Each structure stands twice: as structure tokens, then as C-alpha cells.
Amino acid sequence: MVESLKAAGDYENAIGILNRLIIDKDPNTPPRQFIFQMYSDAALHSIEKRKIEETKMRLLQCQKCIPTWENHSKCIEEDDVLDFYILHHCEERCPLAEKLVRLLTQSFFVKFNVTLNADDCLPGRTISKYYKETIKRANLILFFYHESPLTSEDNDGILIERIQEELSMGSENNVLNVILGDAEQPWRHPAVVLPNDFATAGEEGKEDAEMHALEGHLILDILRKTYELQASKSFQPESFSFEQNVFE
């Protein structure tokens, strides 16, 4: 029945039935992969239909299905959770990277805790130690690449290159690339591709709906890629139990 409702585009009733199966711990409850796919398809449907409040709920449901957020919420104080650690090495101040930070921290749908490079490193603390500790805290590391040529002549740039290389050679499953324009992707992590109008989206004169759509698509793409990245390694479907706030 759930699949039939989904095929008909009736996500509201399809998810209503699915959530009831989960709450009742019904033995017919589908595996996590099916549940996540249902939530993400519903989120995309809501984004395209410009259903703002519904999109917010669906994206939160997607997030709660992903091991990296579930696991951190169990072992780390909420205030200490770092959702995204964005690393890039172009200029000291990068408007595009800062815009990505603003979009993720001020999104209408889901507000994430985000740090960029060593911007939050306090005086007297070594940069290398800050990077090491922050990488351990982060749910996800995002390597951001855009049209500007990468420069790594300063010490910070060289250090970021070394971090990228180490993470790329290891078995990390919490690293994504974020690509804008024709930027090359030097490391073979899964990639989230930003739309070409990312740089101008949200500027004066642009409709709010345009910015909401950009935010929704970006967050959904990141959640989908993260799920694909981690699902086969981080859990067994039969051992997964939902928190009640999945449905809030």
C-alpha cells in the first residue's frame, strides 16, 4: 500500500502509514534504506511544489535516518556537535565559501553548526592541533572547490592539502566534495554539485522562493550523498530504531 501511494504521488498518506508501522514496531516495517528513500523522495516532491513547512519536516526526517547524526547525538553533548567542517584553500577570505556557511547555518529548513577552515581557532592554539581536533568533532567534512584556481602557497593551504590527502587515502566515510562550476575534483569522494547560479542566489531582487529551493536542494543532496556514503558500513537495518522526534 505504501508503494502504491508513493507511485500515485500521495506522499502524505504513504508516510503516514510508514510512520505508524515504525511507531508500532510492526514486523512488516520496511528496512531503513526504503524508509530513507521514501523521506528523501517526499522531500524532493515538497521542494518542487514549494511546500516550505512540509519540506522542513521531510528534511529533518531524512537527517534522523543517517547514522552520522544518530551516533553523534548519543555520545556527544548537543552543544558540542559540529555538523559540517568546511575546508577550502583559495584566498584568506572567500565570499563563496562564506556564502556556503551562511546557507547551511541560516537555512529556513535545517540550521546546522558549521565551521570554516580555522576561523574559530583561538589565539595561542596551534592550527594543526585545531584542525585535528575539529575533524574528530565533525559529523561531515566538506571539501569545497569552485572556479577560482586553488592556491596553497601559504601555510594554511599546504596544511589543508595534507589533510585532504590523508583523508583521501584512508577509509573515512564522512567526507564529501562540494563542487561549483567547472572546478576540478582532485580527490575521489562523493560530490555534491552546486547549481551555476549559487553565487547570485538570494541577492537583492531575487525571490525568496528561489533561495528556499536552492537551500532545500543543497541540503537534500548532502543528506542523500551522506546516506549513500555511510549506509553500507555504519549499520545493520535490523538494529536500527527511530527516535520519536523523527516524526515531529
Report pLDDT digits (tens) over 121-144. 888 888 888 888 888 888 889 999
User: What is d(CA 217, CA 215) in angstroms, rounded to the nearest whole number?
Assistant: 6
Residue tagged 602557497 (cell numbers): 153
Q: Tens digit of pLDDT for each residue in 201-233?
A: 766 655 677 788 889 999 999 999 999 888 755
Q: In the chain, how many domains are there?
A: 1
Amino acid 210: pLDDT: 79
Q: Is 20 contained in some domain?
A: no
Q: Is residue 218 part of a domain?
A: yes
Question: Dmax of the chain from CA atoms?
Answer: 60
Confidence (pTM): 0.82
User: Does pLDDT of 37 surpass 70?
Assistant: yes
Is residue 111 one of the residues assigned to a domain? yes
- How does DSSP classify residue 146? -
Instruction: Evaluate whether residue 16 is within a structural domain.
Output: no
Q: Residue 14: inside a domain, yes or no?
A: no
pLDDT in tens, 178-203: 998 777 776 678 889 888 778 777 66
Nearest alpha carbon to residue 100 among 180, 213, 185:
180
Whether 235 is in a domain gets the answer yes
Owning domain of residue 110: 31-247
CB distance 139 to 80 below 8 Å: no
Overall average pLDDT of the 141-165 stretch: 68
8 Å CB contact between 189 and 27: no
Q: Whose CA is closest to 72, among 168, 141, 140, 120?
A: 140
* Residue range 72-103, pLDDT digits in tens: 555 445 556 799 999 887 656 788 899 999 99
